[in-house]
Amino acid sequence: MVQQIRPYGDSWGDGQVQLSFTLPLPAGPKAREAANRLVAQMGLENVQIVHEKDLHGFTFFIIYGRCRHSVDLNQLPEVEADEQPMGFEEINAFIQERIGRRIVVVGACTGTDAHTVGLDAIMNMKGYQGEYGLERYPWFETYNLGSQIPNEALLQKAVEVQADAVLVSQVVTQRDIHIKNLTELVELAEAEGLRPRLILVVGGPRIDRRLAAELGFDAGFGVGTTARDVAGFLAKEVARRLERGE
Amino acid sequence: MVQQIRPYGDSWGDGQVQLSFTLPLPAGPKAREAANRLVAQMGLENVQIVHEKDLHGFTFFIIYGRCRHSVDLNQLPEVEADEQPMGFEEINAFIQERIGRRIVVVGACTGTDAHTVGLDAIMNMKGYQGEYGLERYPWFETYNLGSQIPNEALLQKAVEVQADAVLVSQVVTQRDIHIKNLTELVELAEAEGLRPRLILVVGGPRIDRRLAAELGFDAGFGVGTTARDVAGFLAKEVARRLERGE
Amino acid sequence: MVNQLLAVDEDKVGKARELARRIAQDIQREIDQTTTVSVERTVARLFGIDGTNADGVPLPNVVVDQVDQDGQLHRGIAFWLANAVVALDQPPQEVAQACARGLSLCSLEIQEPGRVSQVMEEYTRRALKAIKKQRDTRTEMKARLGTGPEPLKYVIVASGNIFEDVKQAQAAARHGADIIAVIRTTAQSLLDYVPYGTTTEGFGGTYATQANFRVMREALDEVSEELGRYVQLVNYCSGLCMPEIAAMGALERLDMMLNDAMYGILFRDINMDRTFTDQYFSRMINAYAGIIINTGEDNYLTTADAYEKAHTVLASNFINEQLGLMAGLRQWQLGLGHAFELDPKMPNGFLYELAMAQTIRQIFPNSPLKYMPPTKHMTGDIFLGHVQNAMFNLASVLTGQSIHLLGMLTEAIHTPHIGDRILSIENAHYIMENARDLGREIKFRPDGIVQKRSEDIVNGTVQFLEEIAAVGLKRAISEGFFADVKRPTTGGKGREGVVRKGMDYVNPIMDAMERELGLVSAGEGGQL
Amino acid sequence: MVNQLLAVDEDKVGKARELARRIAQDIQREIDQTTTVSVERTVARLFGIDGTNADGVPLPNVVVDQVDQDGQLHRGIAFWLANAVVALDQPPQEVAQACARGLSLCSLEIQEPGRVSQVMEEYTRRALKAIKKQRDTRTEMKARLGTGPEPLKYVIVASGNIFEDVKQAQAAARHGADIIAVIRTTAQSLLDYVPYGTTTEGFGGTYATQANFRVMREALDEVSEELGRYVQLVNYCSGLCMPEIAAMGALERLDMMLNDAMYGILFRDINMDRTFTDQYFSRMINAYAGIIINTGEDNYLTTADAYEKAHTVLASNFINEQLGLMAGLRQWQLGLGHAFELDPKMPNGFLYELAMAQTIRQIFPNSPLKYMPPTKHMTGDIFLGHVQNAMFNLASVLTGQSIHLLGMLTEAIHTPHIGDRILSIENAHYIMENARDLGREIKFRPDGIVQKRSEDIVNGTVQFLEEIAAVGLKRAISEGFFADVKRPTTGGKGREGVVRKGMDYVNPIMDAMERELGLVSAGEGGQL
Ligand code: B12
Ligand code: B12
Ligand SMILES: Cc1ncc(COP(=O)(O)O)c(C=O)c1O
Ligand SMILES: Cc1ncc(COP(=O)(O)O)c(C=O)c1O
């Protein structure tokens, strides 16, 4: 059975979508026409330009419309559900039992990024939103290198302490600087032959699984992550690799 | 020369667009995937789901992305610019000189619509935003029938007073009730043979020229209209028809 | 309980109340001599008549229209129904169905008065019992589950389809809405009957029908139990069917009703006598059912200017209060209305808004004031609109309002989408929690702008009420005192449905309610 | 002028100020014995040296590094340059170009002291004259065009491309922005040189270069004349090049500078001695140029909790004030920073925000306080974020803040888009006009939450300053007193650029400014 999913305003299938953007054109009928054509190309119908603000040479629009597109619910891949995460005790017990040694992780805000709060939230004692950070886990050994660490320095440290995993935080994303940084890290790890023995993890507010995978990382964590999510993932991943003899 | 216009976030051509909508799916990876596919169909790239709110069975999304589409500035038709409108005195003088009699208009909020404020703003003495209403124009004769007037009654009155123009206000647009009402009016006027001798004007916050023309009206006025805009249009249109001997 | 942020002159308030009482008494004297088709249909409904004839005409209309056409409505439908019940030995519903098939009530032989009275008493008892049961259920649920903290967050659903409304109402309740109002479809107020059954096709709102009331109340009961918080339901007890809807609401446990003594006259051009008579019985039913009414003064400011005409809102609050008390409502049932409608471009507009809201709050300390959001000055700029709503939310919590209609960022665009409602709830929740006790922290300067504005409003109100009292409320309305709208005293819709009571008029439901509500003699005012 | 909405204990404030003065004096004594490569490059710049060598290294770095490598910087670059000018009979710029081609300054013969002094005086006079000229131009323009009403609306541009920045700055100014800050590219603060020329490639900001300063100032002058309102320009006088940027800003007529005595230490891990020494000279230049500084206490609350650590902000304001006064800044130049950063979920959080903002306002009545918007608790929910900003705007106008950084609804997402900025300006404009005089209308209850919180903050501050005074500022920082960050007293970046002044050290620019600013003896404090 096809189950077409569309945006829902106040009734099934009405396709209602709100959008806003600025066009680099002075306000007037021409800018309005351009806006109408753009949203038509996006596949919106019954388009209402509800607000139009003259920014002198630019025009800001707020628009509502009905989205013609739809997604067939049955065609969506069975996206892996967010697994029920393990708890603090459970994770430690799991590592003790299945791995039998501490998991070693090295973390850093790389490149020119100096936003340490997110990485600290994951790595430091204190943790985040009531969840302890990795440092507090008896079965983790952690090295938090802090901010603005070059990729080379990070990998060097990983080698030095024989890390299982490298945790990278990237918060600044303007002009895709994070993509550049992260790609460079993967290439460097590959060039130095480290890639197979390292679990590469990236986090930040604009990071998700999909992007992490695309860039060649083993996992990606976004907004609202806690150390528990990361610890659980690492425990299972290290165990899996051990079992496969990797 | 092709001049491709795209939305502008903070640099030329970056295509940045904000949008929000609700999907009728419980929050989770499936809803997220559906959202991603929908915006991909709309032609957005570098999609960032920046907010995702669980509405129990529904999920509200706020998304930013880069619009792949563009509009060639040189391909835009020379949209008729908003003409420099005539002033109060000028319009009256114009009518006196070119038409030589008062222009008769009948107005109403039709169907079940009871939003009289907009029509009153155009027709009554007091006017709107410091602009007098049509009633104040010595060269207009006005009949404001008020709210919830059936199309039949409106046309009947127009015939009775030998109106030049019919002014319809439509504010409620839910489920396209205005389209139904307005289409019915045009059909009725045609059926009764009145269409050629009446100027049909429609106004309301969700009305624009394009829609008015599509529905077979002679003009459409939206948000922020004042009586001056309408008076100027009517004066010119009546004069034009007179000259053509229509 | 109410914070005294301002000084309000109690003498002037007393004077205004006394003037309003005189104005209301004049009206009440007329009401006492009049009934309407809608009042009579209400009696028929409460006697158990429901459903429609083969053409879809509701049976209460069928029986009342018949008697009306026979010129016998001045005796009251209760009499004719009871007479038929005795004559045919059938319950009222079967009598009505017989009418639909051609039976003429007024052609039946007049039965023995004692037996007719007995039947009237019996069906009145049953009706009042059913209402009481719902009232008790509400009391029990409110006590057990509690309600949210004031200002209560009130949102509307208006999809036109009761089943879509249910989804959206539940989503809103789960996100913190305390009150759900199902907005009525455009122009239902001018229908001289109440549609029947569940409905899925409305414009700008959903038909108010008894079945729709039931569907929504069940959905909200479900979510109330789930959340451990009693979620209240509102509809419109307004228009040509005011008392009938009151009866339906009483039977289906609505918790609040939009119900105003003058709204129909001013905004729907309904005949004055019709409106005043209908509002009286409708309010009595609401009073008996423990329902809170919401008056509609906010509407004045959609056509009139909010700064110039603030005193008309307050004056109307006083009149609504007096007419409400005379119909048996208690202070805690009087959700008097006002609104945050000043032009956002006005310098210091927020100070004037605070002055108005706080003044009304102090004048009616025991009434659950209904505070309406910005609507008129909302535009397609949803971002700025969301901020206007934020300021409204702040004004409300700061001045301790009770029933708080959430503004929607899309007010100028469409009836709320499911997401809009959630954004509004989050807006209100944030501000009300973040500034929860601000109203206990401050006082306004005795010589300041806010105090001065408050005094101007109170003075204007007293003077305005004096002018109304001088000419009488009906003439005042006909001269455009309220909302910049003039309505002729003898014109308007539904006038043909007004009937002068005969000497033999009987309305056993009204009589019983008046007794139980302690309205010794109507026109003499109720109790505070 | 400042509304006294609260009672603030003047004795405690006096005590705090005295403690801060002692703390600052300890630091100032060390500063007086130290110079840095950046201080010396600043002298070189002010002597007219600009441009780069063939490898793109700025000429001020070329000359200073050379003398430093020769171990002769303790004498001051001014001496070596003046000596070369006399020796070669070429102006400093040509001397520097010669250095780039291989000339060694310290190998030149030492010239007659009188002539060297004369040259130093001559170039000092020219530098001061150029700065004064810009200061006079600003004074003239401000007087002629005026500035907006306080709180001044301050927005950032950060496209990375100075020419895009210009478009956006002009659009913002035309919509009501009073102040434009060009945010600096990520990590420029750690460059030990200032890049040269106009630039179009930054991340999260645009390079601070003298050419970029000029481009933006010209664009703002154009729009200032068009609007009849002087639009002010801000950049970052911070990081490893603090005093150099001060000099560039003075020459290009910036109006404000982010400039903090401790920010570099805490947030960029810059060496303490380096930072303290650099801030002194940079502030002296700002003082002389009539530039208003903005201190960075708001940053503490991005890593530390805003409720728990409010007193650290106020304590730091006192310290920044004293170090600022000692460098010649006047009260009207001290844009002390604080921020609206409480968790929006905190019950009554708005009351605590008001307490903080009002307390600081009353303690520094003559300083143009810089109030920062919510950043840390902003999320991807742009709608709620816009409302958080609305409450911030209200707090600001209510408590009479001076320099008001507009919050952006997209704070958690990207550096502002052109549309975001306009929405923010509209938000602020609406609220500030609509509640313009609210701060004159109210008083907080003497036993209320706001008053109590204010007292707690002041008490906490006095105690905290006592603790700092006991151990000294450097040790306090090393123990994590501020921003939950610990920095070793002798570690940090740029340490190698710190040089102990020799007996023969000379800095004619500093000497002249100290004289003109009336700093009789540094370390003894300035004037209020
Ligand atoms: C605090 C802050 C700062 C502080 C940083 C202090 C510090 N020591 O970290 C200061 C003031 C120094 C700062 C400076 C700058 N900032 Co800043 N900053 C912020 C702010 C307000 C909050 C970030 C934060 O702390 N969030 C809280 C943490 C807990 O959330 P998080 O980082 O998302 O982390 C969570 C997840 O993402 C994840 N996660 C994060 N990292 C990792 C790593 C791993 C391995 C895992 C598993 C998970 C994980 O888990 C965390 C917990 O759930 C944001 C705006 C905002 N509200 O988000 C701007 C913001 C990030 N900053 C921004 C910018 C541009 C800058 C500057 C470059 C501006 C400038 N030119 O001066 C500078 C320079 C900094 C630099 N060199 O990187 C932009 C980035 C724009 C973009 N998308 O590119 C933002 C979005 C603000 C804006 N709208 O302009 N900033
Ligand atoms: C005031 C108001 C009312 C008042 C109307 C009082 C009156 N006598 O007019 C009251 C309270 C009675 C009311 C009731 C209802 N309203 Co109402 N109302 C509004 C409100 C707040 C303002 C409308 C207004 O007065 N605008 C000011 C005028 C000056 O602007 P305007 O109408 O756009 O007119 C200008 C132009 O459009 C143009 N124009 C308009 N008409 C014409 C005609 C001609 C010939 C020309 C040339 C130009 C022109 O010129 C005018 C001046 O510039 C809007 C929300 C909003 N902020 O817009 C909702 C709104 C229009 N209402 C709405 C609804 C649904 C209703 C109800 C149906 C709700 C209900 N179920 O009870 C009822 C029923 C009314 C009915 N039967 O039609 C919806 C409509 C949704 C939609 N798009 O379909 C809105 C958008 C609110 C919402 N978000 O839900 N409403
Ligand atoms: C008292 C009252 N009744 C009814 C309505 C609704 O309008 P309608 O008459 O279309 O049902 C309102 C609108 O706000 C109102 O305040
Ligand atoms: C005083 C001060 N300097 C500088 C900055 C900017 O950071 P960066 O060191 O990256 O230039 C800030 C940030 O807010 C600040 O407050």
Give the pLDDT confidence of B175-185 residue by residue, as tens digits.
Answer: 889 999 999 99
**DSSP line for C373-427:** PP-TT--S-HHHHHHHHHHHHHHHHHTT-SEEEPP-TTTTTSSPPHHHHHHHHHH
In this structure, the answer to whether residues D277 and D396 fall within a common structural domain is yes
Q: C480 contacts in B (CB within 8 Å)?
A: none
Contact status of B22 with chain D (Cβ, < 8 Å): no
Question: From CA C193, how far away is CA C189, in angstroms rounded?
Answer: 9
* D261-288 per-residue burial string, b: 16 or more CB within 10 A, e: under 16: bbbbbbbbbbbbbbbbbbbbbbbbbbbb
Nearest to C174 among B56, B117, B223 (CB): B56
Q: Does A112 touch chain D (CB under 8 A)?
A: yes
For residues B149 and A130, what is the distance between their CA atoms, to the nearest angstrom? Answer: 63
pLDDT tier, C230 (very low <50, low <70, confident <90, very high otherwise): very high
DSSP D285-349: HHHHHTPEEE--GGGHHHHS-TTTTHHHHHHHHHHHHHHHHHTT--GGGEE-EEE--S-TTSTTH
pLDDT (mean) for D349-358: 98
| Residue B84 pLDDT > 80 | no
Q: Which residue in the list A53, A126, A157, A236 is annotated as catalytic?
A: A126
CATH number of B4-73: 3.30.30.60
Side-by-side strand order, sheet with B219-221: B140-144, B103-109, B165-169, B199-203, B219-221
> What would the pLDDT profile of B123-153 be if each residue is shown by its tens digit?
998 888 888 999 999 999 999 999 899 999 9
Question: Which of C267, C279, C493 is the best mutation target for the ligand 3 pocket, counting ligand atoms within 8 Å of the beta carbon and taking the most?
Answer: C267
From C263, C301, C341, C493, mutation site for ligand 3 pocket: most ligand atoms within 8 A of C-beta: C263
Per-residue model confidence (pLDDT) at position C485: 86
Mean pLDDT of D421-443: 98
D119 sits in the region (left: phi over 0; alpha: psi -120 to 50; else beta) called alpha
Q: Do D348 and C449 touch (CB under 8 A)?
A: no
Helix axis angle, D418-434 to C382-398, nearest 10°: 30
Q: Does C86 share its domain with C231?
A: no
Interface A-B, measured as beta-carbon pairs within 8 A, has a size of 117
Residue C236 CA to ligand 3 centre (angstroms): 6
Residue D510 lies in a domain: no
* D411 Cα nearest atom in ligand 1: 89
Amino acid of residue D339: A
Give mean pLDDT, residues C482-501. 93
The pLDDT value given to residue C526:
42
Which of C438, C443, C453 best probes binding to D when mutated, by most D CB atoms within 10 angstroms?
C438
Quote the percentage of chain D above a pLDDT of 70.
98
- Is residue C528 very low, low, confident or very high in pLDDT (cuts 50, 70, 90)? very low
Q: Which domain holds residue C175?
A: 150-452
Residue C111 counted as domain residue: yes
**C111 & C155 share domain:** no
The ligand that comes nearest to the alpha carbon of residue B105 is: 2
Number of neighbours of residue D500 by Cβ within 10 angstroms: 11
pLDDT score for C521? 53
Q: How far is A234 from chain D (nearest CA, A)?
A: 27
Q: pLDDT-derived band of residue B76, with 50, 70 and 90 as boundaries?
A: confident
pLDDT band at C527 (very low <50, low <70, confident <90, very high): very low
Q: How far is the CA of D238 from the centre of ligand 4 (A)?
A: 6
Residue from C42, C500, C47, C82 nearest C281 by CA: C42
Residue A22 contacts C where some CB pair is shorter than 8 Å: no
B115 CA → ligand 2 middle, Å:
5
Given a contact cutoff of 8 angstroms between Cβ atoms, the answer to whether B11 and D159 are in contact is yes
Higher pLDDT, B112 or C350: C350
Rounded Cα–Cα distance for residues B101 and D477 (Å): 87
C111 and C154 both lie in a single domain: no
My answer on whether D361 and D395 are in the same domain is yes
**Chain A contact present for B211, CB below 8 A:** no
pLDDT at D143: 98
In tens, the pLDDT along A39-75 reads 999 999 999 999 999 999 999 999 999 999 999 999 8
Do residues A73 and A53 lie in contact, with contact meaning Cβ atoms separated by under 8 Å? no
Interface residue of C155, C161, C199, C203 to substitute, partner B, most B CBs within 10 Å: C203
Find the range with the poorest average confidence among A65-69, C125-129, C303-307, C424-428. C303-307
**Rounded distance between C-alpha atoms, residue C100 and residue C94, angstroms:** 10
pLDDT score, position C53? 97
Q: How far is CA C1 from CA B47, B230, C370, in A?
A: 51, 54, 17
pLDDT of residue A220 exceeding 60:
yes
Average pLDDT, chain A: 93
Least confident of C16-30, C91-105, C362-376, C484-498: C484-498
Taking the CA of residue D202 and the nearest CA in chain A, the distance in Å comes to 9
ipTM value:
0.94
**Residue at D406 is within a domain:** yes
Judged by its nearest atom, the ligand closest to the C-alpha of residue C238 is 3
For residue D299 and ligand 4, the question of a CB distance below 6 A is answered with yes
For chain D, the average pLDDT equals 96
pLDDT tens for each residue of C132-147: 999 999 999 999 999 9
The string of pLDDT tens digits covering residues D374-422 is 999 999 999 999 999 999 999 999 999 999 999 999 999 999 999 999 9
Mention every residue, 6+ apart, whose C-beta is less than 8 A from residue A180: A111
In a domain, C162, yes or no: yes
Q: Do C160 and C264 reside in the same domain of the chain?
A: yes
* Model confidence pLDDT, tens digit, residues B4-32: 999 999 999 999 999 999 999 999 989 99
* Pair (D117, D158) in one structural domain: no
- Examine the residue annotation and report whether A126 is marked as an active-site residue of this protein: yes
**What band does B81 get if pLDDT is binned at 50, 70 and 90?**
low
What is the total count of domains within chain D? Answer: 2
Pocket of ligand 2 (CB under 6 A): B 107, 112-119, 121-122, 128, 167-169, 171-174, 201, 203-205, 221-225, 230; C 183-184, 186-187, 204-205, 267, 299, 302-303, 375-376, 378, 411-412, 414-415
Q: Which residues of C touch D348 (CB under 8 A)?
A: 433-438
**8 A C-beta contact, residue C421 and residue C155:** yes
Task: Indicate whether C190 and C301 sit together in one domain.
Answer: yes
Nearest CA to ligand 1 atom 89: D411
Q: What is the mean pLDDT of residues C444-471?
A: 98
Q: How far is B181 from chain A (nearest CA, A)?
A: 17
One-letter amino acid of C444: F
**Test site for ligand 2: of C415, C423, C424, most ligand atoms within 8 A of the Cβ:** C415
The residues near D144 (Cβ < 8 Å, ≥ 6 apart) are: none
CA B120 to ligand 3 center in whole angstroms:
20
Query: Would the pLDDT of D209 be above 80?
Result: yes
With 80 as the cut, is the pLDDT of residue A127 above it? yes
Q: What is the pLDDT of residues C431-450, one digit of tens each?
A: 999 999 999 999 999 999 99
Provide the token pair at A233: 């993932």
First and final C-alpha spacing in chain B: 43
Q: How many angstroms away from the CA of A115 is the closest CA of chain B?
A: 18
Residue A83 confidence (pLDDT) = 64
For chain B, the domains span: 4-73, 88-243
- Separation between Cα atoms, residue D261 and residue D276, nearest integer Å: 6
Cα(A169) to ligand 1 centroid in Å equals 10
Residues within a 6 A CB radius of ligand 3: C 184, 189, 236, 238-239, 258, 260, 263, 268, 296, 299
Distance from the alpha carbon of residue C186 to the mean position of ligand 2, in angstroms: 12
Encode pLDDT of A58-68 as tens digits.
999 999 999 99
d(CA D357, CA D450): 11
Ligand nearest to the CA of C245: 3
* In a domain? residue D136: no
Q: Which residues contact D134 (CB under 8 A, 6 or more apart)?
A: D250, D251, D252, D253, D289
For residues A23 and A34, the answer to whether their CB atoms sit within 8 Å is yes
Neighbours of C366 (CB within 10 A): 11
> How many residues are there in chain C?
528
* Cα D296 to ligand 4 centre (Å): 7
Q: Do B175 and C203 touch (CB under 8 A)?
A: yes
| Both tokens assigned to D455 | 């007292």
Nearest chain A CA: its distance from B139 CA (Å): 30
Is D7 an interface residue toward A (CB < 8 Å)?
Answer: no
Q: What is the pLDDT of residue B80?
A: 62
pLDDT at B205 over 70: yes
The CATH code of the domain that includes D160 is 3.20.20.440
pLDDT digits (tens, 9 = 90+) for C235-255: 999 999 999 999 999 999 999
**Based on the domain organization, do C274 and C204 belong to the same domain?**
yes
Predicted confidence at residue B175, as pLDDT, reads: 83
Residues D149-198 pLDDT 10s: 999 999 999 999 999 999 999 999 999 999 999 999 987 999 999 999 99
Mean pLDDT for chain C? 96
CA distance A97 to A94: 5
The nearest CA of chain B is from the CA of C48 a distance in Å of 32
Ligand 1 centroid–CA A118 distance in Å is: 7
* Higher-scoring residue by pLDDT: B1, C349: C349
pLDDT, position D524: 46
* Span D12-29, average pLDDT: 98
Q: What is the mean pLDDT of residues C216-228?
A: 98
Q: Is the pLDDT of residue C523 over 50?
A: no
Domain's final residue, options C72, C91, C125: C125
pLDDT in tens, D253-297: 999 999 999 999 999 999 999 999 999 999 999 999 999 999 999
> Best interface-test mutation with C: which of D348, D378, D383 has the largest number of C CBs within 10 A?
D383
* Domain final position from D395, D430, D452: D452
Which of C269-283, C394-408, D59-73, D477-491 has the least mean pLDDT? D477-491
- Position A80 confidence tier, pLDDT thresholds 50, 70, 90: low
pLDDT attached to residue D302: 87
Closest atom of ligand 1 relative to the D236 alpha carbon: 72
Please provide the CATH number assigned to the domain covering B88-243.
Answer: 3.40.50.280
Domain boundary among C452, C477, C495: C452
Does D316 lie in the same domain as D252? yes
Cis peptide before C151 (omega within 30 of 0): yes
Residues 60-89 of A with CB under 8 A from C: 62, 64
Diameter of chain A measured on Cα atoms:
71
Tell which wins on pLDDT, C524 or A57.
Answer: A57
Q: Which residues in chain B have their CB less than 8 angstroms from residue A208's CB? A: 49
Q: Give the pLDDT of residue B82.
A: 58
Whether the CB of C417 is below 8 Å from some CB of chain B: the reply is yes
Same domain, C174 and C232: yes
Residue B104 pairs in a beta bridge with B141
pLDDT greater than 50 at residue D528: no
* CA–CA gap between residue B12 and residue A24 (Å, rounded): 8
The two three-digit tokens of residue B236, written as one number = 């010119």
Statement: residue B154 has pLDDT above 90: yes
Asked if residue D307 has pLDDT above 50, the reply is yes
What's the pLDDT band for D522 if we cut at 50, 70, 90?
Answer: very low
Contact predicate C391/D397, CB 8 Å: no
**Residue C13 within any structural domain of the chain:** no
Asked if C161 and C243 sit in the same domain, the reply is yes
- CA separation for the pair B212, B177 (Å, rounded): 14
Q: Over 50: is that where the pLDDT of C522 sits?
A: no
Asked whether the beta carbons of residue C382 and residue A9 sit closer than 8 angstroms, the reply is no
pLDDT at C70 over 90: yes
C360, C270, C352: which is closest to C320 by C-alpha?
C360
* Residue D525 confidence (pLDDT) above 80: no
- Is the Cβ–Cβ distance between D377 and D343 less than 8 Å? yes
